Amino acid sequence: MTRATAPGKFILFGEHAVVYGQPAIAFPLRQLRVTAQINIIPDAPRGHVRLHAPDIHYHAWLHEADEENPLRKIVELTLDEIHAQSSPAIEVRVSSEILVASGLGSGAAVSTAIVRALCQHFEQPLELERQSELVYEVEKIHHGTPSGIDNTVIIYDQPVYFIRGHQPERLSISGELTFILADTGLPSNTGQIVGNLRNAWEQNRPTFDTIFNHIGQVAERAKSAIAAGDVKSIGILMDENQQLLEQLGVSSETISGLLTTARDHGAYGAKLSGAGVGGIIITLVQPTASTRIVNALREAGAVWTGVTKV
Ligand code: MEV
């Protein structure tokens, strides 16, 4: 039996605009993980793979699964890459602590854990860059036109300053930042939201390009504020990024409600994180205020909260 894990992620600045070439900032969320386990099945024919994801009650032989099934796709891509298609039969078992469709990178984390587990099982190490490319292929099924930020931050497991098509830059951070993540309980369907925004952009490119550029400038200023450990400026920039996301039409009343609660209870700043509409919000807080703000967010309807320090 071989086991490997992968973290979730959260985007602090620049979601959506990153799809259009602007910079974004993201962090791995190491306290929530996906685990992939490989077990040999002695009595099945060579080359057979059984997929098992008990969390979503999914159980199928790989060759019988839908061709666009993300689990099938990542297993096939990886076995191809490491030339292990006709090895003794295996079961790929996946379990996840990451909420699906919440903006926490569950799809990329599942793919990453599987790539890692298969490479370990067959003792075929793969460069991180190549692993990221394989996961990106599957992200296309989830997201349509992904920027690549989710696979990058999860595979490299480092805070990143990311620009589509460029080598990711490791983010420099001064001091410690305390964030609360809170789930609205509403789904955030990335593929659909990114697709709707693309349609809107196609109808009115100048307006949307101006907003995307502005978000890119906010992300760039945030990079300097994070390097300087300037929490007040980071908070103000989060609020500014949120206003721009609202102009893009990817926020919602439920999100706004939680953001107002966080700010009213003394947060430095707050915004949606990920594709939006539902999913999670993120707020930067003073460490001593975190319990108070978590309780307030729960009372305001958050269905899950987590505190993370970076
Ligand atoms: C999804 O985690 C982030 C988006 O910017 C989409 C993408 O970058 O592919 C909304």
Q: Determine the average pLDDT of the residues in 58-80.
A: 94
Dihedral sign computed on CA atoms, order 217, 16, 279, 66? negative
CA distance 260 to 271: 10
Dist. CA 197 → ligand 1 center (Å): 11
The CATH fold of domain 2-169: Ribosomal Protein S5; domain 2 (3.30.230)
Ligand 1 binding pocket includes 107 (Cβ within 6 Å): no
pLDDT digits (tens, 9 = 90+) for 258-278: 999 999 999 999 999 999 999
**Where is pLDDT greater, at 280 or 56?**
280
- Common-topology check for domains 2-169 and 173-309: no
What per-residue confidence (pLDDT) applies to 142?
Answer: 79
Ligand 1 binding pocket includes 163 (Cβ within 6 Å): no
Please tell me the residue having the least CA distance from ligand 1 atom 8: 147
173-309: CATH superfamily: GHMP kinase, C-terminal domain (3.30.70.890)
pLDDT digits (tens, 9 = 90+) for 4-41: 999 999 999 999 999 999 999 999 999 999 999 999 99
Q: What would you measure as the largest C-alpha separation in the chain, in angstroms?
A: 61
- Torsions phi, psi for 228 (to 5 deg): -90, -5
Task: State the DSSP code for 55.
Answer: G
Q: Determine the average pLDDT of the residues in 182-205.
A: 96
Residues 6+ apart with CB under 8 A from 127: none
pLDDT digits (tens, 9 = 90+) for 113-124: 999 999 999 999
Dist. CA 190 → ligand 1 center (Å): 7
Q: Determine the average pLDDT of the residues in 65-69.
A: 92
Pocket test of ligand 1: the residue of 13, 99, 194, 273 to mutate, having most ligand atoms within 8 Å of its CB, is 194
Dist. CA 39 → ligand 1 center (Å): 33
pLDDT digits (tens, 9 = 90+) for 208-235: 999 999 999 999 999 999 999 999 999 9
- Asked if residue 144 has pLDDT above 90, the reply is no
Domain ranges within the chain, ordered by starting residue: 2-169, 173-309
What per-residue confidence (pLDDT) applies to 143?
Answer: 81
What per-residue confidence (pLDDT) applies to 117?
Answer: 97
CA distance 101 to 126: 28
Ligand 1 binding pocket includes 16 (Cβ within 6 Å): yes
| Mean pLDDT, all residues of the chain | 96
What per-residue confidence (pLDDT) applies to 192?
Answer: 94
Ligand 1 binding pocket includes 194 (Cβ within 6 Å): yes
Ligand 1 binding pocket includes 19 (Cβ within 6 Å): yes
Q: Is 39 helix (H, G, I), strand (E, B) or coil?
A: strand
Is residue 284 within 8 Å of 27, Cβ to Cβ?
no
Ranges assigned E (strand) in the chain: 2-13, 24-40, 49-53, 58-61, 90-96, 160-162, 169-170, 178-183, 269-273, 280-285, 304-309
